C-alpha cells in the first residue's frame, strides 16, 4: 500500500481521469468538468473538490463513491470529497474530447455556450442529418433533451447546454 | 459550513424555501407513471428531481446553521405539519394535467424572479444555490408556459379545463408576495418580483387566450405553518417510514 503522503496532485488527476459517469459511461468526470480542484490536506489526506452537474442529479452520490473506490484501488484510503455549488457547473467546461466521445456514443453533444437553448440544427448522431426536431425538453436524465431525426427517424438524446 | 454572521437570511426563511420545493417535488412525483404521454411523464418527474435537488441544498444549509445534529433528513422527515413553512399552492392536490401545469407555471415563474435577485445576495451559500437553481428553473418556466399556451389556446375542452385550473389556483398565488415576519429583513425587493411575475403571467395568458384574474382573495398561512388539510396526508405518506423505523437507511 502506498502512503498518502507520497502522492502528487498530478497522480490524483490521472487516477480521476479513469472515473466515468455512471449514466454516460463514455465520459470521464474529467471530460465533464465535474472535478474542480484537488488538495493535499494537512494530515496528508486528499481532498477532491467536485461540483454537481444538475442540482438533483442522482449520479453525484455514485460519482463520489466511484472516486473513493478508484483512489482506494491505487492505495489511497484517506480521501475526502467536498461538493461545492459555486461557480455553477456549465457544459462550457466539457472537453472537446468529451463532446467527440458523446457523439460517438449516440448522444448529441451540447451545441453553443451555456444559456443558449438550441432547438434547431442539432445533428443526428446516427446519420448526421441536421433535419431533426425537439420531442421533449426533458429526456432520460436531467442533463438531456429528447430529439428525433426527421431523416433516419431515429430518436436520440441531446446533452443540453447548461 | 459556519453560519455567516452577516447573513440577513434567518433559518425559518431557508426552511420555507426548502419546504416549498420539497412538497411540490413530492406532488409532481405523483405523476410518475401517470403522465398523459411518456415524454411529459418524464418531463414532470425531471422537474420533481430538480426541485428535490434544490430542497436538499436548502435543507443542508439550514441544518448547518441549526447545528445540534440536524440533517437534511431530520428536517424533511421529522418535522410536523405546523413546522412546515411551504407555500399553500405547493401542497394542493394535482388535479388534472392542466392544473398541474398551471401551478408549475405560477411557481416556476415566481422562483425565476426570486432567484434572479437571490443569486446576488450577500449570503454566499444562498446565492450559490439560487444561481445553480436558476439555470434549471429557466427550463421549467419555458416548458410550463408552452403547455399553458397549448392547453389554453387548444380545444374547447382544454380551454375549459384551464379556466377551471385558474379558478382552483388563483387565490393561492398572492401568498408568494405576502411576506412572513421572517421574510421582512431579507433584503429582496418583493414588489419587483410581484411586478415581473404579473407581467410574465399576463403575457403568457394573453397568448393562451386565458383571462388574467385581476382581483382575487388571497389565502395565506403556509409560510407560518397554517396549512390546508392536504399537507397532513402528504407528510403521512412521505414520513411514515422514518417515523416507523427511525434512522432507517438504504
pLDDT of residue B249: 82
Residue A6 pLDDT level (bands cut at 50, 70, 90):
low
Enter the C-alpha cell of residue B127. 446565492
Quote the minimal CA–CA distance from B101 to chain A in Å.
Answer: 15
pLDDT of residue B8: 53
pLDDT of residue A161: 84
Check the CA dihedral B54-B72-B94-B183 and report its sign. Answer: negative
Cα–Cα distance list, B103 to A7, B24, B87, B92, B223 (Å): 53, 9, 12, 9, 17
Per residue of chain B (250 residues), give pLDDT as tens: 334 444 557 899 999 999 999 999 999 999 999 988 888 999 999 999 999 999 999 999 999 999 989 999 999 999 999 999 999 999 999 999 999 999 999 999 999 999 999 999 988 999 999 999 999 999 999 999 999 999 999 999 999 999 999 999 999 999 999 999 998 888 899 999 999 999 999 999 999 999 999 888 999 999 999 999 999 999 999 999 999 998 888 7
Q: Name the residue facing A138 among B43, B131, B133 (closest C-beta).
A: B43
**8 Å CB contact of A142 and B46:** yes
Query: How many whole angstroms separate alpha carbon A5 and alpha carbon A44?
Result: 5
Instruction: Kindly tell me the burial class for residue A19, based on how many C-beta atoms sit within 10 Å of its own C-beta (0-12, 13-18, 19 or more).
Output: buried
Instruction: Check CB contact of B116 with chain A, cutoff 8 Å.
Output: no
Query: How many whole angstroms separate alpha carbon A30 and alpha carbon A67?
Result: 11
**8 Å CB contact of B128 and A142:** no
- Give residue A97's region: left, alpha or beta (phi > 0; psi -120 to 50): alpha
Q: Name the residue facing A55 among B43, B125, B132 (closest C-beta).
A: B132
**8 Å CB contact of B39 and A146:** yes
Q: Which residue has the higher pLDDT, B107 or A24?
A: B107
Cα-flanking dihedrals φ and ψ of residue A101, to 5°? -65, -35
- Interface residues of A toward B, Cβ cutoff 8 Å, are 52, 54-58, 84-89, 114, 117, 135-140, 142, 146, 160, 162
Query: How many whole angstroms separate alpha carbon A159 and alpha carbon A99?
Result: 9
pLDDT tens for A86-144 read 888 999 999 999 999 999 999 999 987 776 666 678 999 999 999 999 888 888 888 88
Its pTM stands at 0.89
Instruction: Kindly tell me the burial class for residue A96, based on how many C-beta atoms sit within 10 Å of its own C-beta (0-12, 13-18, 19 or more).
Output: exposed
Residue of B nearest to A144 (CA): B46
Q: Name the residue facing A162 among B43, B135, B143 (closest C-beta).
A: B135
Please report the number of interchain residue pairs, chain A to chain B, with beta-carbon separation below 8 angstroms. Answer: 72
pLDDT of residue A141: 84
Instruction: Kindly tell me the burial class for residue B156, based on how many C-beta atoms sit within 10 Å of its own C-beta (0-12, 13-18, 19 or more).
Output: exposed
- Is the bond preceding residue B218 a cis peptide, omega within 30 degrees? no
Element (H, E) at A135: strand A132-136
Residue of B nearest to A83 (CA): B57
Dihedral in degrees, nearest 10, Cα atoms A55, B87, B48, A98: -20
Residue of B nearest to A82 (CA): B1
Enter the C-alpha cell of residue B20. 416549498
Does pLDDT of A1 surpass 50?
no
Instruction: Check CB contact of B46 with chain A, cutoff 8 Å.
Output: yes
**8 Å CB contact of B42 and A139:** yes
**Which of 3.50.50.60, 1.20.1260.10, 3.30.390.10, 3.40.50.1100 would CATH assign to domain B11-212+219-244?**
1.20.1260.10
Orientation of helix B97-118 relative to helix B38-66, angle to 10°: 40
pLDDT tens for A141-161 read 888 899 999 999 999 999 988
Which one of A65, A88, A157 makes the best mutation probe of the B interface by having the most chain B beta carbons within 10 Å? A88
Cα-flanking dihedrals φ and ψ of residue B246, to 5°? -55, 135
- Where do the structural domains in chain B lie, given as residue ranges? 11-212+219-244
Enter the C-alpha cell of residue A61. 452520490
Dihedral in degrees, nearest 10, Cα atoms A64, A66, A70, A75: 60
Residue A29 pLDDT level (bands cut at 50, 70, 90):
very high
Quote the minimal CA–CA distance from B171 to chain A in Å.
Answer: 30
Residue of B nearest to A161 (CA): B135
- Order across the sheet with A79-83: list the strands: A35-40, A46-50, A79-83
Which domains are assigned to chain A? 4-89 (3.30.300.130), 92-159 (2.20.25)
Residue of A nearest to B22 (CA): A56
pLDDT of residue B1: 37
Amino acid at each position: 500500500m502506498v502512503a498518502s503522503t507520497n502522492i502528487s496532485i498530478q497522480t490524483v488527476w490521472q487516477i480521476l481521469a479513469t472515473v466515468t459517469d455512471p449514466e454516460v459511461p463514455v465520459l470521464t468526470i474529467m471530460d465533464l468538468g465535474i472535478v474542480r480542484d484537488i488538495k493535499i490536506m494537512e494530515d496528508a489526506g486528499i481532498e477532491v473538490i467536485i461540483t454537481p452537474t444538475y442540482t438533483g442529479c442522482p449520479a453525484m452520490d455514485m460519482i463520489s463513491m466511484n472516486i473513493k473506490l478508484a483512489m482506494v484501488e491505487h492505495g489511497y484510503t484517506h480521501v475526502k470529497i467536498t461538493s461545492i455549488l459555486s461557480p455553477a457547473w456549465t457544459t462550457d467546461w466539457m472537453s472537446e474530447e468529451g463532446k467527440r466521445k458523446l457523439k460517438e456514443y449516440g448522444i448529441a453533444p451540447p451545441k453553443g455556450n451555456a444559456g443558449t437553448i438550441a432547438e434547431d440544427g442539432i445533428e443526428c448522431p446516427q446519420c448526421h442529418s441536421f433535419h431533426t426536431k425537439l420531442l421533449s425538453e426533458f429526456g432520460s436524465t436531467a442533463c438531456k433533451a429528447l430529439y428525433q431525426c426527421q431523416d433516419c427517424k431515429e430518436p436520440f438524446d441531446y446533452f443540453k447546454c447548461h | 459550513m459556519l453560519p455567516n454572521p452577516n447573513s440577513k437570511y434567518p433559518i425559518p426563511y431557508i426552511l420555507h424555501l426548502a419546504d416549498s420545493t420539497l412538497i411540490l417535488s413530492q406532488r409532481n412525483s405523483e405523476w410518475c407513471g401517470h403522465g398523459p404521454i411518456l415524454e411529459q411523464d418524464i418531463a414532470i418527474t425531471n422537474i420533481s428531481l430538480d426541485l428535490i435537488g434544490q430542497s436538499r441544498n436548502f435543507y443542508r444549509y439550514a441544518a448547518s446553521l441549526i447545528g445540534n445534529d440536524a440533517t437534511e433528513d431530520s428536517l424533511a422527515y421529522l418535522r410536523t405539519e405546523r413546522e412546515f413553512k411551504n407555500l399553500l399552492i405547493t401542497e394542493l392536490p394535482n388535479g388534472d394535467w392542466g392544473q398541474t401545469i398551471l401551478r408549475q407555471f405560477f411557481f416556476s415563474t415566481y422562483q425565476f424572479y426570486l432567484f434572479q435577485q437571490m443569486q446576488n445576495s450577500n449570503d454566499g451559500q444562498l446565492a450559490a444555490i439560487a444561481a445553480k437553481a436558476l439555470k434549471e428553473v429557466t427550463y421549467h418556466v419555458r416548458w410550463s408556459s408552452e403547455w399553458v399556451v397549448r392547453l389554453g389556446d387548444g380545444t374547447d375542452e382544454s380551454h375549459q379545463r384551464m379556466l377551471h385550473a385558474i379558478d382552483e389556483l388563483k387565490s393561492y398565488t398572492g401568498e408568494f408576495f405576502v411576506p412572513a415576519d421572517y421574510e421582512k429583513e431579507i433584503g429582496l425587493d418583493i414588489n419587483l418580483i410581484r411586478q415581473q411575475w404579473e407581467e410574465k403571467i399576463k403575457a403568457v395568458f394573453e397568448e393562451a387566450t386565458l383571462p388574467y384574474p385581476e382581483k382575487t382573495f388571497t389565502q395565506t398561512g403556509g409560510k407560518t405553518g397554517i396549512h390546508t388539510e392536504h399537507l397532513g396526508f402528504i407528510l403521512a405518506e412521505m414520513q411514515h417510514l422514518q417515523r416507523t423505523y427511525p434512522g432507517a437507511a438504504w
